Amino acid sequence: MPTEEVLGLAVAGTFVLYALLGGADFGGGVWDLLAGGPRKAEQRALIARAIGPVWEVNHVWLIVGLVLLFSGFPRAFAALSVALHVPLTLLVLGIVFRGTAFTFRAYDTRGDAVERRWGVVFSVASVVAPLLLGMCVGAVASDAIRMQGHAVVSGFFASWLSPFAVSVGVLTLGLFAFLAAVYLTHEAHTPPLAEDFRWRALVTGALLFPLALVALLLSREGAPRVWAGLSQTPFALALHVGTAVAAVAAFALLWTRRFRAARVAAATQAGLIVLGWAVSQAPYLVYPGLTLRSAASSPTVQRLLLVALAIGAVAVVPSLVLLFRVFRPQAPGAATPVPPT
């Protein structure tokens, strides 16, 4: 396998992980915004507690993906930065407000209007950021970003405001909300709280089907490459079957309240959707202008990057395992992580 394909897979891998972990994290913000019913406060407390220890880590995947992109495929990074300047700028503003609002709220607890206002900033940014992220993905997947040589010639708005890109944005938001709800069923330490998120997960999960269908149908016009990949290639069938099996399994497991397993099924489902996008677009990074090969940095650089990736994995994987072990959900009544007071 050529190095640029291995690196391309690594980039896709970081996107899958960002969608799963960062996505659930964004989704937590969505449910913070939509918290309601008799256990409104408990829902918000659960979200804050579940996210607190891991939210910084969840978002490092984005940085890793970016760094791999600009070191491994510098031309693609440059082209995307120009073509998607506007939505990416809005996205980073969303990330800034989300991250800081979450921290200020967690560490400046006063139980008053100020704290609640941070909560609103946090949850609104949690809705806007995935929407923009999805729209950027939609723009990349469509053939709307056009280049002449190294210059982007398709303007700064049309590519990400197309119906297809918007439909991917909404699908992303729905997917993240679904993931978060499923994760939270397992994090909840009282049955009523788990029940709150169980029905949220079932409803958003059901909504995902029409959203995905709309995006798929719009891709026929809006993203022909992805449409062809998702409807005509041999891997497509396997992918659709895999996604469908995972989706049905997630539903069945949620229905029967096997939350731990439901979480795995939901993650598989979401991971396959992101992977499906990546594979249907390969070998293009930006269709039709840049392929993995044409955007790749020199082979020396790519080999060293793979070495750095291996070193990184050796340092990061055991630490991550430790982190998730320390903060795995505990039985009711056990000590729960709270910020030091």
Partner 1 sequence: MTDLLYARAQMGLSLAFHIVFAAAGVALPVLMVLSDWKHRRTGDNDYRKLSEKLAKGTAILFAVGAVSGTVLSFELGLLWPEFMGRYGEVIGLPFSLEGVAFFTEAIFLGIYLYGRERVSPGLHLFSGVMVAVSGAASAFFVTLVNTFMNNPSGFTATPAGPTDVQPLVAMFSPGWQYQTAHVLLSCYQASAFAMAGIHAFILLKHPGAAFHKKALSVALPLACLTALLQPLVGDLSAKHVARSQPVKLAAMEGHFDTEVGAPLLLGGLPDVETRTVPGSIGVPKGLSILAFGDPNAEVKGLNDFPRDTWPPVAKVHVAFQVMVGTGSLMALLALVTLWRRWRGREWPHGKGLMRAWLFTGPLGLVALEAGWLVTEWGRQPWIVRGVMRTSEAVTPVPHLAAPFFTFTAVYLFLGVTVLFVLWRQVAATLPGAVDGKVTHAH
Size of the site for partner 1 (CB under 8 A): 69
**Binding span for partner 1 by CB under 8 A among 130-138, 162-170, 278-286, 320-328:** 320-328
Among positions 103-122, residues that touch partner 1 (CB under 8 A) are 103-104, 106-108
Distances (CA, A) of 254 to 42, 192, 217, 260: 21, 14, 28, 9
Among positions 279-308, residues that touch partner 1 (CB under 8 A) are 297-298, 300-301, 304-305, 308
- Closer Cβ to partner 1, 203 or 311, answer by number: 311
Report the C-alpha dihedral over residues 149, 151, 153, 154, rounded to 10 degrees. Answer: 110
- Per CB under 8 A, 310 contacts partner 1: no
Please tell me the distance from the alpha carbon of residue 268 to that of residue 189, in angstroms, as a whole number.
Answer: 24
Which residue of 36, 89, 210, 241 would you call a contact of partner 1, by CB under 8 A? 89
- Min dist CB 320 to partner 1, Å, is 6
Among positions 139-198, residues that touch partner 1 (CB under 8 A) are 150-152, 156
- Per CB under 8 A, 34 contacts partner 1: no
- Per CB under 8 A, 66 contacts partner 1: yes
Q: Which residues contact 186 (CB under 8 A, 6 or more apart)?
A: 194, 259, 260, 262, 263, 329
Which residue of 206, 217, 238, 338 would you call a contact of partner 1, by CB under 8 A? 338
- Per CB under 8 A, 340 contacts partner 1: yes
- Min dist CB 133 to partner 1, Å, is 12
- Per CB under 8 A, 102 contacts partner 1: yes
Which burial class, exposed, middle or buried, applies to 148 when counting CB atoms under 10 A from its CB (0-12, 13-18, 19+)?
exposed
Name which of 305, 17, 288 is nearest 296 in CA terms.
Answer: 305
> Pairing between strand 147-148 and 151-152?
antiparallel
**Binding span for partner 1 by CB under 8 A among 50-58, 135-143, 210-218, 220-228:** 50-58
Which residue of 45, 71, 194, 207 would you call a contact of partner 1, by CB under 8 A? 71
- Closer Cβ to partner 1, 140 or 230, answer by number: 140
Which residue of 9, 88, 194, 245 would you call a contact of partner 1, by CB under 8 A? 88
The site map against partner 1 for 199-238 (x = CB under 8 A) is ----------------------------------------
Is residue 150 within 8 A of residue 77, CB to CB? The reply is: no
Which residue of 31, 77, 160, 259 would you call a contact of partner 1, by CB under 8 A? 77
- Closer Cβ to partner 1, 38 or 328, answer by number: 328
Is residue 137 within 8 A of residue 18, CB to CB? The reply is: no
Backbone angles phi, psi at 147, to 5 degrees: -130, 150
Binding site for partner 1 (CB under 8 A): 52-54, 56-57, 59-60, 62-64, 66-68, 70-72, 74-75, 77-82, 85, 88-89, 91-93, 95-97, 99-100, 102-104, 106-108, 150-152, 156, 297-298, 300-301, 304-305, 308-309, 311-312, 315-316, 319-320, 322-323, 326-327, 335, 337-341
